[in-house]
Every structure is written in C-alpha cells, then in structure tokens.
Structure 1
Amino acid sequence: MQLLQITSTLTVFCGLLVLTRAYDLVRDYSGITFFDEWDFFGSWDNLTLGDVYWLDESDAFSQGLAYINSAGNAVIKVDNTHSIQSPQKRNSVRITTKDSYAVGSLWIFDLVHVPFGCSVWPAVWTLGGPTWPEGGEIDVLEAINLMPSNQMALHTTSGCFHNYTPPNQLGATLVTDCSTAAGCTVGELQPNSYGSGFAAMGGGVFAAQFDVAGIFIWFWSRANIPSSITQSNSSSSIDISQWGPPSASYLAADQCDITEFFTPQQLIIDITLCGNWAGLPEVYFPACGDKGPTGICYNDNVVGDGSNYDDAYFEIPYIRAYTTGGVVPTPTAAPFDIISKVDISTYPGYGSVTIPLSAVTALDTGLHPSPMFYPGNGASGRYQVDFGLMIWWVLSIGAIIFIRLA
C-alpha cells in the first residue's frame, strides 16, 4: 500500500513537471494553407503614416505580393517592379490573424528572410483590442532602414514600466515607460537579428511568451535554435525549459500587471515604408542620407522603379501558436557572453519617438491597387487570374483605339 502511494505521488509530481514545461499547439501557420487564417488590411497606412497601400487579399495574391514559394514558405513583400510617381504610395501587405490569443500563450516565428533597406519598416507584432493602446501591443521584431539589430517593445496605457532590467536579459533596455510613443524598448545585442546579417545566416527564430509572470522574447540565429524547436513539428507540444535567457524580459513584477494592460492578442505582420519612424529626418538622414539626391526618405526610395526593394520581403517557413492551462516557468537561465556584441549606441533609430495612433489625422492621397492581374517577380502558389477583368480591360483599350482611329 505504501509503495502504491509513493508511486501515485511520483506520477502526479511528474505530471505537474510536464504541465509546467510544455505548451500545447493550437495553430500552425505553414505551407499552402498559411494564409487561410489571416485577414488582409486592404487600406493605406493610416496607422504609422507610411508611404504604402496595404492590399486586400485578392490584390495581394494577384499582384504577387503574397504567395507560397517553391520551398513551401510564405512570402510577403513590397512591390519592387512598378514605377511610382509622387505623390503615389507603393503597394505592400499587412496581415492579421483571425484568432486572438489570451495570456498563457506562446508564439514561435521561423523566418528565413526579413525585409530591410533604406526606408523599409517591417514588424512582427501583436495587438489587443480595436482601440490602441488599451489592449496592449507586443513588438517581437521591428526595425528600420539599416539598423544592425532588432528592437523589441511593449505599448500600453499609462502605468506599465520596465524599470528593472532582469540580470538574465540579453538586450539593452532603452526606454522604461511603456506608455510613451516609442513604448518600453529593448535593443537586441546579439548579432544577425536583422538585415543582411540575418539573411546571410539563413535567418533564425523569434519566440514570445505571453504569461501572467511577464512577457519574454527570444531570438536565435539559425545555428543556435534550441533542439526543442528544431525537433518539433506541426502537431507536437513545445518545451521551453532549456531555451536559455531571453533577449527581452518584461517581468510583471517590474510594475506591469500583464492581465491589467493586455487583452487577448492578434498576431500581425506588415511592411511599411518611411512613415513616422523610418522616415523621420533625424533618423533617416544619418543612416540613408546618401541614398539619393534629396536626402528625403520618400523622394529617394518610394518614388521610382522599385528595384531598391528587392530585399523588402518576409520569407516564413512557419508560425506556431501554443497555449497552456498550467503554470510555466519564468526564464531564469544565466546570461552568456555575447560574441561580437552589436553596438546600438551610435546608430539612429533605437528608442525613437513615434507618433501615437491617436494623433494620426492624415487623409488618403495615395495610390490604390491596380485591378490588373500582375504576378510579380517569381510569384507562385496562391494567386488567381481574373479573366473577366482582363477581358474588360482588353475591350476597353480596344474601344479607345477604335474611337481614336475612327
């Protein structure tokens, strides 16, 4: 009887250990069905005043700005083949998950390539609720222009702070008040988390833990991805106990009650151009002032044939969302020495102030998507030709020619 009780106790104890370590998969975004559970924005960038028009689903696929490539990876990109005249905007993509994920969630983003270059402003982030920033925002990946590394941030209403930097946080805390326009920001000090360095290393993986104890963000270059991730698949649970120290560690104990400032979050991926961060003169000019004759973000980048946006694309093998019904461990792994630490102190943009959403009052004066079928460069996978629309265009052009010749 005593042996039976001991065995039963050990079984329960082991079960609790599993419960505290594992997250269960609830959504896998990958392969040919990657885009099925996302909504496309379908409007100009009235949020950060970027010089883009985020296409709706139909136009994004038909213009080759969203597709599945031959490797089975999802691609989201900026138009790099159309010529743009001032004051037109350039077409791009912003997508939002149909699902919302509550506290107790975990997200893993496997990225082969992320957009970069002068004027380019990509982001992988989450948003809670329709009224910003009342539901909170988590910026997992966000950078601009030629920044050498990623910047992470939280955006909240007044009262949430990142005053205390945990000893195991690998990144550098830049702004402590999460209600400022820039949010409470942390700069990544590990190399190859963004830009050409990220691409040269075959990309990497970002992960974010959204927990009552805090919000934690990790980055691993391709060669350093933990085995629990590389050995996982589209149906398995995930164990985070051996992930090591996070790049950003926003502890709830550091004067930010997660359940007070964050509602269930939707995942968002977007690419904008210039706008109220990448296009700020004090940020853009020191990094990219020699890009063109005017030294102005829009004039020297967005206007023209678009060939300078060949690197402005995401390539995504998968994104996975997990949840747990139990308590999971707060990251406590000791920090390690970063070889070739990124020097972010002299580069413009980190911790910069951006215009809050409530201040946006600009009007739509930009280019709207062309109804013409346009497959883009190397587009494959999910797009369809609207033959009726093509016939309408052919007949219209023919009628114009006939009238002029008559």
Structure 2
Amino acid sequence: MQRWSILGALLIASRHAVAYDIFRDYSGSTFFDGWDFYGSFDNLTWGNVTWVTKEVGASQNLAYVNSENHVILKVDNVTNVTVGELRSSVRITTQDAYDLGSLWIIDLNHIPYGCSVWPAFWSFGPHWPEDGEIDIIEGINVNPSNQMAIHATQGCYHNGNTDQLGSTGSTDCSQGSGCTVGELSPNSYNSGFAQAGGGVFATQFDVSGIFMWFWSRADIPSSISQATSTSSIDISSWGTSHATFSSNMCNISQFFTPQNLVLDIDLCGVWAGVPSIYDSQCANEGPTGLCYNDSVVGPGSPRYDNAYFDINYVRTYTTSTNAPVATSTNAPPSGGSTLSMSANLAQSTGTSGGVARMHDLMASLTLALCVFAGTLLLTWSI
C-alpha cells in the first residue's frame, strides 16, 4: 500500500508536464457529425422525458446550430404536456471512446437550470458499472453550484483530504452517489453561470487520476482561450484541480476503460424529482409538491425557457499513444448510466452489486408508480 501511494504521488506530481494534441473539435455546423442521438424514452434515471432523434431534434429546434455558430441543446418549451405524456429533450453520445491519456474541454455560454431540470455532461464505459463513469457537469433544479463525481465498482475511493479546490462529499465510489466533489468557485451553475459570461470545464483522464477544472469566462487560462481548433494544449499553468480523484485511492486503469462523452437534459427522475429534494427547492411550482405534476405537465414556457445548453465547442485531446476507439452508442450502457444520478434512491441500496440491484430498484419503482397512477385515477373518477 505504501509503495502504491508513493507511485501515485509521483504520477500526480508529473502529470502537469503532459502536453496534449487535438484529436476532435466538435463545434459549429459539423458538431453533430460526431455524436449519436439516443432517440428513446428515459429508461436510465426514471426521468419524464423522451430523448428525440436527430431528425426530430432538428425539426423541433431542440438540437441545432444558431446564427452565432453556437450549438443549442434544449428541452421542449413549446408543448402543453398533458397528464401521462412525457416532454421531449435531448441526449447525445460521442461516437469516439476516449482512453487514458485523454483531455476533454467544453466551453459553454449557458447551462440548463430550473425546477425539475437535470442537465449533465458526463462519460461512461461500455459495461456499466465495471467500466466506470465520470460526471463533469451535473446540477438539479435551482442548485447554485455544479457537482463533480466518479462512479466505479467496489475498491475505488476518494481521499477526503486530497489536493483540490472543491469540497469532498461521499468518498466510496461504488455507492449510489459515487465519489462526489462540490464546486466552490462561484457561477458554476444556475443563472450565475450565464451572467458571468459562461465558462469552461476541463477533465484530464489519466493513469495518475481523474482531474477536473472549472473557470468562469474572465478566469479562463490563456492556454485555453488562445487555443484554436487545431492547436495542441499545455496544462502546466492550470494550477490545482477543482476535483482530484487520484490513483493512490482508486487505480484508474483498473476501474475505468475508454469513455464515451454524453450531453443530456433530464427532467425529474431519481435525483431532481425525489419529493423531499424537489419540494425543498421548488415548493412554489404547484399544489402537489410532485415534480412531474407541478413542472412537466402543463405549458413549457416560461418553465423551460432556461433549460438549454449553449455550447461554443467540445474539444478532445490525446497523447500520441492513445487514439480513441470508434463505437456505436445508440444503446445505453448495461444497467444504464447517469446512475450517478440515482444518488438519493440508490444510496440506500448501493450499486456495488451491479446491474441486478438496479433492476430490482427499477422494478420497485415501477410498482410504486403503478400504484400511484391507480390512486390518482381513482381519485379523479370520484
């Protein structure tokens, strides 16, 4: 254990010397060429959305490039949703899977927020949970700050006293919420993000660890702000990461395989829609205190006018020895990902037992929903 800790420390100390070559620039008119649309209902987090296809996303103005060459991904804020229906939204996944030795940067002007809204920029391996998950941007409802996390099978942990700028939450990465770190820098989520001019999130996926940074627009390092879509990048000036998941507590090469990147906007579900959480933040949204009833059902505007990503670019970088792997991503990861996101329900059951436990949880939720729906129908008939 001591020898591994020393090795981990050496790897961390040397990681900033790594320079990265641009591999993919997802931006402008060709942005969507490198992504697959999920095109199904949300069977991952029990959210109240239907993920649209690329064609529907374009026709309904839910996924498009605007006149400023920004990429827009949004929730349907036009439709008047009736009880029993779902609201349309977007989930896209990169066709490339990125191995250790990768760097990912996303530059945004706006992050979705609002009651019931659950946006995320995250990654997963092909066989969840064995291949890991990394949550870079994740917020719910009207939370003021972003939460970062990693998820892995049993044996991966986070050092609560590690060298990072964020605030450590849970430290066992195999549990439902994963290993979490709260962002302490201002304007990382909610309306403050856009009011500060947006910002940049960066993730280093390395054998020495997984490291994440966030900068508001005014604080973006020159190595990023002066970079082009074809230039390499040097991270040596970035300073202390905001979330540090180091290999001395989690052997990254053991718990994580090549990762596909995902952007999505969910509604309600097993984090944003948990009654105690939703009601504490959105009690004034409607009479029932229930996320679906009070937010999803009814008119889309003004409720979802701020439920959109405005993206300048996503850029991926690699070292010369780590070429990404092309994959087909129309199917979800086994057991579903964004299970980061089963934070508040799966926490009590744990997810270290893998897919079977999640299926049991889903079965229980299905039964509960059926009983709830039956009760409502009976009440309405009376």
Deviation at 1:354, TM superposition (A): 4.0
Q: Among residues 192, 198, 213, which one is paired with 1:218 in the alignment?
A: 213
> Which position in structure 1 is the counterpart of 2:275?
281
1:207-246 CA distances to partner (integer Å, 9 max, x unpaired)?
Answer: 0000000000000000000000000000000010000111
Query: What's 1:50 paired with?
Result: 47
Q: How does 1:7-406 map to 2 (within 5 A)?
A: 20-129=17-126, 131-167=127-163, 169-254=164-249, 256-307=250-301, 308-325=303-320, 352-355=343-346, 358-359=358-359, 360-361=362-363
One-letter amino acid of the counterpart of residue 56, structure 1: T
| Structure 2 CA distance for partners of 1:279 and 1:55, relative to 1, 3 Å | same
State the shift of 1:326 in Å.
Answer: 7.4
Matched residue SS, 1:159: coil
Q: Cα RMSD between the aligned structures?
A: 2.1
Aligned counterparts of 2:38 and 2:247: Cα–Cα separation in 1: 32
Distance 1:233 1:354 in 2: 43
Distance, in Å, in 1 between the alignment partners of 2:96 and 2:26 is 12
Distance (whole Å) between structure 1 residues aligned to residue 34 and residue 321 of structure 2: 26
Partners of 1:351 and 1:152 lie apart in 2 by 14
Q: Determine the C-alpha separation between the residues in 2 that align with 1:303 and 1:77.
A: 17
Shift of 1:133: 1.1
| SS, match of residue 175 in structure 2 | coil
The whole-number CA distance in structure 2 between the counterparts of 1:132 and 1:97 is 16
* 8 Å CA contact retained: 2:159, 2:245: no
Give the residue type in structure 1 aligned to 2:318: T
* Counterpart contact for 1:157–1:179, Cα < 8 Å: yes
What's the secondary structure of 1:309's corresponding residue? coil
Overall identity of the aligned pairs, in %: 57
CA shift in 2, pair 1:177/1:25, >3 Å = same
For 1:301 and 1:284, how far apart are their aligned partners in 2? 10
Residues 351 and 242 from structure 1, CA distance in 2 versus in 1: closer, same or farther, beyond 3 angstroms? farther
For 2:78 and 2:345, the matched residues in 1 are separated by 29
CA contact (8 A) 1:124 1:270 kept: yes
More displaced stretch, 317-326 vs 208-217: 317-326
Checking the alignment, whether the CA contact within 8 Å between 1:74 and 1:317 is kept in structure 2 is: yes
State how far apart, in whole Å, the 1-side matches of 2:345 and 2:192 are: 26
Tell me by how many angstroms 1:87 deviates: 1.2
Whether the 8 Å CA contact 2:160–2:168 is kept in 1: the answer is no
Tell me how far apart the structure 1 counterparts of residues 172 and 43 of structure 2 sit (CA, whole Å): 25
Give the letter for the 1:86 counterpart.
Answer: V
Could you say what secondary structure the match of 2:223 adopts?
A: helix
Q: Counterpart amino acid of 2:219?
A: N
Task: Report what 1:334 is aligned to.
Answer: none
Q: Distance in 2 between matches of 1:244 and 1:311?
A: 32
C-alpha distance in structure 1 between counterparts of 2:132 and 2:205, whole Å: 12
Question: In 2 relative to 1, CA 196–18 (structure 1 residues): closer, same or farther, beyond 3 Å?
Answer: closer
Q: 1:323 to 1:23 in 2, by over 3 A?
A: same
CA contact 1:137–1:155 (8 Å) conserved in 2 = yes
Quote the offset at 1:289 in angstroms.
Answer: 1.2
The residue type paired with residue 87 of structure 1 is G
Q: Which runs of 5+ in 1 are unaligned?
A: 1-16, 328-349, 366-406
Aligned to 2:325: none
Q: Which runs of 5+ in 2 are unaligned?
A: 1-13, 323-340, 370-382
Label 1:194 to 1:18 Cα distance change in 2 as closer, same or farther (>3 A): closer
Deviation at 1:165, TM superposition (A): 2.8
Mapped to 1, the partners of 2:121 and 2:137 lie a distance apart of: 5
Contact 2:45 2:342 in 1 (8 A): no
SS in structure 2 of the partner of residue 315 of structure 1: strand
Other structure's SS at 1:165 match:
coil
Could you give the per-residue CA deviations for residues 237-276 of structure 1, whole angstroms, max 9, x where no partner exists? Answer: 001000011110001012x100100000000000000000
TM-score, scaled to structure 1:
0.77
Task: Say which SS state the counterpart of residue 152 (structure 1) adopts.
Answer: strand
**Aligned in 2, Cα 1:19/1:177: closer, same or farther, shift over 3 Å?**
closer
8 Å contact kept, 1:182–1:354: no
Distance 2:30 2:280 in 1: 42
Whether the 8 Å CA contact 1:50–1:276 is kept in 2: the answer is yes
**Which whole-Å CA distance do the structure 1 matches of 2:69 and 2:118 have between them?**
25
More helix by share: 2
CA deviations 1:345-367 (Å, max 9, x no partner) are xxxxx99424356233477x9xx
Q: SS of 2:23's equivalent?
A: strand
CA distance in structure 2 between the partners assigned to 1:177 and 1:192 by the alignment? 27
Q: Cα–Cα, structure 1 residues 46 and 352, in superposed 2: closer, same or farther, change >3 Å? A: closer
Q: Which secondary structure state, in structure 1, belongs to the residue aligned with residue 67 of structure 2? A: coil
